[in-house]
A and B are shown apart, each in its own frame.
Chain A
């Protein structure tokens, strides 16, 4: 598999790996074909302006090297961002950050985007009223 140095580096030393107990939102996504699964946990707080910010974010991933690297990158990109900013992070941003992914591995980055969005949605659902 032709992974970039960056992918291998993030795979080797993933950032933000683990679980957040009492997370404010959890996104659980998976790809039925390859069987890979990604869970994203977020902790949200309001800043002085009253905006909701991702204070902490962690991931757990059962998957290939690309899935692990993209999980790690998406959590790094989202950390400290407001929810509306974080929602705009797309799989393209993740792939770009990693310097590309082999074609067959593009869907792994989609999983990262979806996982983050699912976590935010989960938070919103729980904090509706």
Chain B
């Protein structure tokens, strides 16, 4: 186990993040605040409570998840993609580092950033609406698992993408629609039955639902199912990463 390498990569990535800490933190804070102004104050005041929770409070877990998704994917993909882009990846490839160590270093750093941003988003939200967290440990668990899974997903994207366009297309074409249709702003009970069924094929529903449950104890689907789905997603990402390194896919000639 080359723990020096894991630590080096982690430190290096965190360092890169801290260099731009202000932008990194400011963006989600501003975005979240905007959501609260629009959905919480302007529209939320005219909405009825959802499952006994005020609309403004109801959307908080979904919003945090939204920023977790995008931050994790961005952070997870950027670190490795820029190295491929600039060619500095030669050093990673020639280093005595196993695939797992590489992944732990990169996604560890990416997930750390995402969790930090998730917490900042949560704190920002608490300025606008009264929050309660019924199951704090579960909340942390979902926060961490989601950050790790999506960082891994981002890492895969970063390796797969041949250019910056490709890098942004998946989040734009796939992830954003899935999150918006994933029950961040509504309970899926509000949907007509057909749409509800269709929605259940959206993995994001389970993540948001489970996360919201940890706040208010109410959920669209069972928390066990949410957890299971998160783990399945994590498993798929891990398997993909293992395959990438085994075959050298888009990394080596």
Q: Do A and B come from one complex?
A: no
Binding site for B on A (CB under 8 A): none
Binding site for A on B (CB under 8 A): none
